[in-house]
Homo-oligomer: A and B are copies of this chain.
Amino acid sequence: MARLTFDISVSLDGFVAGPDPDLEQPLGAGGEELHTWAFATETFRRQHGLEGGERGVDDDVAAESVRGIGAYLMGRRMFSGGAGGWEDDPRRDGWWGDEPPFHVPVFVLTHHARPPLELRGTTFHFVTEGFEAALDRARTAAAERDVVIAGGASVAQQGLRAGVVDGFQLHVAPTLLGGGTPLFEGVGGDEPRLEVDRVVSSPAATHLRYRVLR
């Protein structure tokens, strides 16, 4: 079976978003800073239709992290920043405009059913039956390729608690947010057991990759 992993940017104090997120500032106070390393890379810029960008360690990591992926899992809040019924959600078609950067099927966990959303190169499927159901559908869509949890923290936590995550990579920004959304809330203790897989670093981020032991 193909692997289930996640890649997530996090502050040195373990938050994936800063305090007080809202629609204006969906990553909370200081949260944008967690992604500075990615925004600067050639890979990220090309994915978002922009020229230029830097090569080097961060770009190598960014390029790796989009290779061999057959489907994504994503939480509702990551998809639109909203909650509740879709009719009141100003970002009901997601954050990414006409051509989202995924280019494979994306399964969005939500409590509010809706038909699939087809944008250029990416179809979003909305799954109301929970994490395991969404994972099953993503695995089927991905066939031999990997399924990646695109975020947010709560979906990563569901995967870790269910014992189905094979590994993950943290991109640790050299910043302390002092509060916000903790990546590992409700996870840990005896499980999961981890093994260091690879560590590389740049001034912008330290990339820590772990295997989950079974």
Stretch at the interface among A104-112, A139-147, A170-178: A170-178
A187 within 8 A of B: yes
Stretch at the interface among A63-71, A125-133, A188-196: A188-196
Contact across chains for A189 and B174 when beta carbons are under 8 A apart: no
Bound complex: CA of A87 vs CA of B9, how far in Å? Answer: 48
Bound complex: CA of A178 vs CA of B203, how far in Å? Answer: 29
Within 8 A of B (CB), among A154-204: 170, 172, 174-179, 182-184, 186-189, 192-196, 199-203
Within 8 A of B (CB), among A66-114: none
Knowing A13-B14, A199-B199, A203-B195, the reply to whether A178 touches B174 (Cβ < 8 A) is no
Bound complex: CA of A177 vs CA of B192, how far in Å? Answer: 10
Q: How many residues of A contact B (CB 8 A)?
A: 34
Q: What distance in Å separates the Cβ of A197 from its nearest Cβ neighbour in chain B?
A: 9
Q: What distance in Å separates the Cβ of A104 from its nearest Cβ neighbour in chain B?
A: 29
Residues of B with C-beta under 8 A to A61: none
Residues of B with C-beta under 8 A to A177: 188-189
What is the predominant secondary structure among interface residues of chain A facing chain B?
loop
26 contacts between A and B (CB under 8 A): A11-B188, A12-B170, A13-B14, A13-B183, A13-B187, A14-B14, A14-B184, A29-B189, A30-B189, A172-B208, A174-B194, A174-B195, A174-B196, A176-B184, A176-B188, A176-B189, A176-B192, A177-B188, A178-B184, A178-B189, A179-B188, A195-B203, A196-B203, A199-B199, A199-B206, A206-B208
